[in-house]
Structure 1
Amino acid sequence: MDAPLQEIFCSVQGEGPYIGMRQVFVRFAGCNLSCSYCDTPQKTDKYFKFERIPGSFEFESMANPITPSRLNELVSRFDQVHSISLTGGEPLLYSDFIQELDTRYPLYLESNMTLPENARQISDKIRFVSGDIKMQGDVNVPELSSHIDSTIKCFKELRTTKTRDCFAKVIISKYTETEQIYDIVTEISQYISCIVLQPVTSPTDRCDLDVLLQFQNKLLNIIDARIIPQSHKMLGCL
């Protein structure tokens, strides 16, 4: 199976417990959700951007879609990286494609965690999982209970093991229903190594610090909880 991409580039991970780690980012096109804060175009272009020299921000256009063997070859051109970040869009839409990847670096999945069957298909391929918890307000879904059930199942499929680290990430704004988040974290706490509370960057939507700290303190009763903002936006990275 081929897959459409938006871009391939080298940068540092800007979110979560692996913040600052150098990665090759493979950004897939397309998503099964439509989040209010999404920064990735939904449409698939005829070409994707490939960074010719790591860190140069000099790109060349390459034709979509791409084969797994071609992606293996392209990412092998990058040296001294921690992992290959499969991001999007939603990478789990292309589980057949990911199953065929054979890179010299471990795979780091960034997912909205709503496709448990696809997650099961590639669970043995993934070394790191950055799984989102998305609630009503982040995204419009027809049935919230079904959406939450899929999220919990996805975390179970990609849970932390001796060979895989899975952590949860939730974007916190002043509109976030923290009680709903707490209930979900309670359900998945046995599957994750920690939960990352990521404050929104917009000053108008930012959660009050005291509310954020109180929520972290409550979560610490059940799981390692960390407040980590988006460092790549502070640095001006891609």
Structure 2
Amino acid sequence: MNNSSGYIKEIFPSIQGEGKYVGAKQLFVRLAGCSINCLNCDTDYSAEDFFIINDKRIQNPVSPVDLAGNITEAFGLNSFHSISITGGEPLDQFGFLKDFIKAVKEMSGIRIFLETSGFYSDKLLALQDIVDIFSIDLKIKSSFGVNNLQSVQKIMRSIDTSKTYVKLIINKNISETEIDSVLKVLMDSKMKEIYLQPLNNISYNNELEHIIELLQKNKIDAYFIPQIQKFMEIR
């Protein structure tokens, strides 16, 4: 373990509000920083001089072992479904992330849920043995101004799809070409499901109905789940 230090934005218990595990009680560990530069990003991932665990101020950067120790001391981790590691983009701090996951699993045995953009295929695949659940966003230009489908396709050819799911955020500008590209990635990987989410929780009924119909015709189950945390007014 190289004990490389990392920057944390915030740590808090809450309910998963998106995707396949919506409703699960998780401990959220939000890493600071993101190199993707998506349009329409709704997350503050800026680094501060310190972060809070309960009422305890902890200095940034923090070592992975110290972070794992503080978390296991502050929370009864057996009361959580998993630790959700999110960002920003957690894989930007790959060395720290890997060491933290190893440390907190050794201390507690808790499941690790990693939320990632899917842009960094090699880094993600290097974590297969220590991450229990991968949540991968499919990025398309109509929603985010960037496209990661080629990288996700590489991931899906190698990863254990039984512990991986994908989300697609859509808006009214989604094109037929983008829908076809997403479908090709799913069919190439033999993924059997996808979780659809409207940009900014605005319902795009016509686009949604068309996308779901096309996916179902190709034997891919599509689930429409808006961001539940925004309705519940929680983080």
TM (norm. structure 1) is: 0.84
Mark the runs of 5 or more structure 2 residues left unpaired by the alignment: none
Residue 36 of structure 2: SS of its match in structure 1? Answer: coil
In the other structure, the counterpart of 2:36 is 33
The residue correspondences of 1:3-152 to structure 2 (distance < 5 A) are 3-50=6-53, 52=54, 59-76=55-72, 77-79=74-76, 80-100=79-99, 101=101, 102=103, 103=105, 104-141=109-146, 147-152=148-153
Q: Distance in 2 between matches of 1:156 and 1:27?
A: 28
1:100-147 CA-to-partner distances (Å, cap 9, x unmatched) read: 223221110111000011112211111111100111133345xx5xx4
Q: Which runs of 4+ in 1 moved over 6 A?
A: none
In the other structure, the counterpart of 2:200 is 201
8 Å contact kept, 1:85–1:109 = yes
Q: Which moved more, 1:23-32 or 1:98-107?
A: 98-107
Q: CA deviation at 1:193?
A: 4.9
In the other structure, the counterpart of 2:174 is 176
8 Å contact kept, 2:197–2:226 = yes
Q: Distance in 2 between matches of 1:114 and 1:191?
A: 20
CA separation of 1:48 and 1:177: change in aligned 2, threshold 3 A: farther
Mark the runs of 5 or more structure 1 residues left unpaired by the alignment: 53-58
Q: Distance in 2 between matches of 1:11 and 1:167?
A: 20
In the other structure, the counterpart of 2:228 is 231
CA separation of 1:14 and 1:135: change in aligned 2, threshold 3 A: same
Residue type of the alignment partner of 2:7: P
Residue 200 of structure 2: SS of its match in structure 1? Answer: coil
In the other structure, the counterpart of 1:56 is none
The residue correspondences of 1:209-228 to structure 2 (distance < 5 A) are 209-220=205-216, 221-228=218-225
How many residue pairs match? The answer is 221
Q: Distance in 1 between matches of 2:175 and 2:154?
A: 21
8 Å contact kept, 1:23–1:83 = yes
Larger helix fraction of residues:
2
TM (norm. structure 2) is: 0.85
